[in-house]
Amino acid sequence: MVTYSNFTGGARGDPRTFADHGVADARLLYRAVERGLDAPAGTTVRVGALPLGVVAAAYREAFRSVGEQVPDDVEAALGDAVACTAEEFDGRSARVSEELLPAFYGHFVGFHAAYHGASQPVVVS
């Protein structure tokens, strides 16, 4: 499983994947989402439509905070990341910072790379 400490590239995406959208390092975007959610360490949620919608909204807000409207490829990647993360967890509970956010991020970056024309494969599991 991908974790925050190993966001250095590889199959789950390059930290520079959003550079064309004004985000020089995707890890900063990830941290902004963590801060926006303000979930204390160890917080668990049952993964479903509501928590995943909140995570996607936090990413949209993080993009807006760098002065960028949410581009179409980012919006499409967010939607598919919601669907894949929901399928991955299948209604189980997950720790927000340790499990849910890294899984969502991995799907989001993979789909964004595919929709943005990058040569990376789409990783959905």
pLDDT of residue 110: 84
Rounded CA-CA distance 33/14 in Å is 18
The pLDDT confidence band at residue 18, using thresholds 50, 70 and 90, is confident
Extract the tokens encoding 88. Answer: 């991955």
pLDDT of residue 40: 84
Rounded CA-CA distance 96/44 in Å is 6
User: Is residue 4 pLDDT above 80, yes or no?
Assistant: no
Identify any residues that bridge with 46 across adjacent strands, giving them in sequence order.
93
Q: Which residues, 6 or more positions from 87, have their beta carbon under 8 angstroms from its beta carbon?
A: none
CB of 75 within 8 A of CB of 26?
A: no
User: Is residue 79 pLDDT above 70, yes or no?
Assistant: yes
pTM score, whole prediction:
0.77
Residue spans of the domains in the chain: they are 27-115
Q: Sign (positive/negative) of CA torsion 51, 55, 60, 64?
A: positive
DSSP 3-state of 46: strand
